[in-house]
A = this chain, B = another copy of it.
Amino acid sequence: MASGRELFASHGPQAQMDEIAAHAGVGIGTVYRHFPTKEALLTAMVRDRFQGFAEIARRAEDIADPLEALESVMRNSGEAVEGDVGFQLAMMGSDELEWEGIEEEKAALAEVVTRIISRAIAAGVVRDDYTFEDFGMVMCGITSTMYYKPGNSDWRRHLELVLRGVRAPAIG
């Protein structure tokens, strides 16, 4: 139910099943007919967001400049994540939830991003030991800024700071 997406976006996993049902304009029972359990629903939501990230990354591949491509992924992911708790949790991979059946989407994302990183390294514009794990870690950190201090946009500055640390020393 795409309708529940919104609620997940605004309230995250503490959204209650009755709220979700009400928001979707259906009864609780109906929700449970689609998702056997709340966790299943959340997993579906997170899977959805991961596909969103992958889409963002894929679009960035069209950018010619290697550094700009990488920065674009990071910036646009940040934009997408802003104000969407669902995206935030997907990004941080909160262990509060037991994401299962997400591996596939995650792998797809990893593939695209790794390609973009490789290109940037080959062009000598980022430190040559930058990895997808670094990417995830750093994005997790930036996301946490939004998650724990909602409503301000300092995360852009955080990203800027981090990007300076990621670029190749020569660029400094």
Task: Give A residues with C-beta under 8 Å from B.
Answer: 92-95, 133-134, 137-138, 140-145, 147-150, 154-155, 157-158, 160-166, 169, 171-172
Contact = CB atoms under 8 A, between A and B. Distances in A.
18 contacts: A93-B149, A95-B148, A95-B150, A134-B157, A138-B158, A138-B161, A140-B141, A141-B141, A141-B144, A141-B158, A141-B162, A143-B144, A144-B147, A161-B165, A161-B166, A164-B164, A165-B165, A171-B172
Contacts of A147: 144
Given A163-B165, A165-B161, A165-B164, A140 B148 contact: yes
B150 A137 contact: no
A80 B171 CA distance: 33
A144 B95 contact: no
Interface-central residue, A137, A164, A172, by most chain B CB under 10 Å: A137
